[in-house]
Amino acid sequence: MSVTAAAPAITSHALPVHAVLRHRAGLFARLSGMPVAVMAPYEGPVLPADRAVHLACAVDLALANVDRHSQAPYATVSTSQRSGRIFVRISDDGIGIDPVHAGNGTGFARIREHAVAAGARVWIEASGHGGTNVVIDLPAL
């Protein structure tokens, strides 16, 4: 089942990245039936609301791609920080992606649009265990 959740409401506050990711992953899991694990520290970075909304949309679209294409039983959303950057990784252990065609579809184009609007870069990479990773790299505040 393919699910793309509605964009979150924009507020005027800064939002913790972990809260955005947990909310979107939880909503996606309820709507799609696909379990999504979130590994993000509660004391992590915050983003201005407009950037957080675009991050949420990019994560929603990446999760929809996992559900639609990967044949994976679950997905994982994780974060890390280094050198003033926040890395959000949406991972699966599905069938993987052909590197020749990685990033050429409309789904990835939409993910990229939201990532760029959030001030981020985004790329797709093969994971070490046969699945796929979508990595969103954005500046920390």
Over residues 50-80, the pLDDT tens digits come to: 999 999 999 999 999 999 999 999 999 999 9
pTM of the model: 0.87
CA separation for the pair 36, 25 (Å, rounded): 6
* Six-digit token string for 113: 């649009």
Scan for tokens 């789904």, then name that residue: 107
Domains and CATH numbers, the chain: 37-139 (3.30.565.10)
- 3-state SS class at 11: coil
Question: 126, exposed or middle or buried, with CB in 10 Å at 0-12, 13-18, 19+?
Answer: middle
Q: What is the pLDDT of residue 98?
A: 73
The answer to whether 70 touches 131, Cβ cutoff 8 Å, is yes
Helices and strands, number each (H, E), in the chain: 3, 7
- 3-state SS class at 51: helix
Helix 49-65 to helix 17-32 angle (10° resolution) is: 30
| Per-residue model confidence as pLDDT tens digits over 93-131 | 999 887 666 667 788 999 999 999 999 999 999 877 789
